[in-house]
A and B are shown apart, each in its own frame.
Chain A
């Protein structure tokens, strides 16, 4: 990346109504089709007549697949039109970061909905036998993005530690039953066995295919990294990252959000082959302009430096959980503040805190445009 403060996405975008209903085989209203075409014009997408015809067509497997491709094309162009330097497809092919992967692994069985918070739930699976690689689950999506993106591509990849943390571990706990008397020790050993089998059987084979297909940069998403903050667990997380990425001719980064960064910071310097930590800060920060004390949301960034992390940072400057559109000046000040802490502006990538999937496309677009404008303002200070 040649210039200071490259801008990047770190996760998913919302799925437009035409994508959701179209993929479910439901009929779209005139307004929904008009909205799809309206965004297409805004994003400069070609062959919109063909697309409109497709949306009106009867449901079929072929139509569903084509809708996935169109939604990916829209999302790529969305991010590029907003001006981002590093893009993906807003994860339009994936139902959700966990379920998409879990559905493609042999040995996983979905047990039902479990509360995440309030009225939000996730479909939690149990691992009931040794994980088996059934089919590639990111490769086709990546190849499509590679062929359709003009800008640099970074592939988000749900990490093994998080998949294991979010899955009931029936197979490995049963296997150790009676062998390890202490329940806590048994649980830990079962988790460790699960992670390493999942990595060997599923995660690394998929990474290998992505790299063979031309992936140059893979972002390992590990939101669960600091769920259990004991030393043993954090070391296990580090080991799982290092073993996941070992030996591939590809750049790797880590995305983690809504976590305890004081804890993560202590272990981040032990991550090998991790070119960037993409972290969430805007959510913790105030809205007033300026650098220094007013930027309290960024205080943990210093901990990563103090603990010796030497890679780059994807600095979250856009809060994805609010409709408040950060003005470019606020983005600028957050970037400049981070640059002061790190004392090397060349190590900063300008990011959203996490994926924008809970915001509308209108809000996300404004937020991203302002992020790009803010990065430009920050460049002017150097």
Chain B
């Protein structure tokens, strides 16, 4: 089975950028800002549905950073200073853990905005994985990051339950920290296994397809332990991963192929991506991979809107070509 979808936050279209700037400078009000977010969300959803995405997201345009819904809606977390988002010229607010964590009673409903998601399509929600949440937090309370990771996993479980109740059919947990290791030593096999246990806690009983999406680093570093993770699909950033090292592994799961580079403005040639994908699919399909999803390697918000939109079309066209080839 060949599918396709987005894997993160979309860029804000030009008009929305302009209104958010006006809002920050006090030149426009809450209602105009809300309307602009709403209009832009419709555009982002339309872009995905007209591209034939298997699952559509709300684009997460309101998310100020990939952790913010947690930073803002959890008791026991303070919004900290700006920190660099991995090796990008983009910043997030560090969650500073100062008290026992729990969801606030009145969490912002706009975070999982379903207003613009069409009823006739499958919905996908994207959340940070427990390991990345713990690694990027400043912890002043728990014994260690492992304890914090399990705490986040429990909180995620509640959130995932809510999302599936709302009608989301696909839950992606984004875990860049798991593969981004430029300077420190490789994670031990035991550590990777512990990450899998936290993940199990987060997704247990979820009535939706689940995926652990890795990016900004080499997926092959966490092999083979990652094969045992309790998710339906595993996401690979093909611009950071030594693809040869994936070959020969028995996946037994779906694979999300991060074929389109969200951090480069060059629009990929469909034919070239199809050739790369075919090679990977052929090399691991025989080992039990159940499904393949064509997707961007990470959040498209590293690109201006117009370029991101072009890449959405590339994702769609590559998936179409692969379907013709493999799904008949």
Contact = CB atoms under 8 A, between A and B. Distances in A.
Interface of A: 111-119, 121-122, 124, 126, 165-166, 168-170, 173-174, 183-184, 187, 224, 227-231, 258-260, 263, 283
B221 to A, nearest CB: 13
B12 A168 contact: no
Contacts of B183: 229-231, 263
B84 A173 contact: no
B92 A117 contact: yes
A170 B303 CA distance: 13
B135 interface: no
Interface string B1-28: 0000000000110100100110110000
Given A111-B304, A230-B182, 17 more contacts: A112-B305, A113-B17, A114-B11, A114-B90, A114-B303, A116-B90, A116-B91, A117-B82, A117-B90, A117-B91, A117-B93, A118-B64, A119-B20, A183-B240, A184-B239, A227-B84, A258-B84
A173 B20 contact: no
B87 interface: yes
B21 A119 contact: yes
Contacts of A260: 84
Interface string B84-119: 100111111100000000000000000000000000
A111 B23 CA distance: 23
Interface residues of B, number: 35
A28 B304 CA distance: 33
Nearest to A168: B265
30 contacts: A112-B14, A112-B305, A112-B306, A113-B12, A113-B14, A114-B301, A114-B304, A115-B11, A115-B12, A115-B301, A116-B89, A117-B64, A117-B90, A119-B23, A119-B24, A168-B265, A168-B266, A169-B264, A170-B264, A170-B266, A173-B266, A174-B266, A224-B89, A227-B84, A227-B87, A227-B88, A228-B87, A258-B82, A258-B91, A283-B81
Nearest to B301: A115
B292 interface: no
B265 A170 contact: yes
B46 interface: no
A168 B263 CA distance: 8
A180 to B, nearest CB: 13
Contact of B307 (A112, A119, A258, A259): A112
A231 B302 CA distance: 24
Interface in B291-328: 301-307
A191 B125 CA distance: 35
Given A117-B82, A117-B91, A228-B182, A111 B265 contact: yes
Contacts of A117: 64-65, 82, 90-93
B182 A184 contact: no
Contacts of A230: 182-183
Given A126-B265, A183-B239, A229 B182 contact: yes
Contacts of B23: 119
Contacts of A187: 239
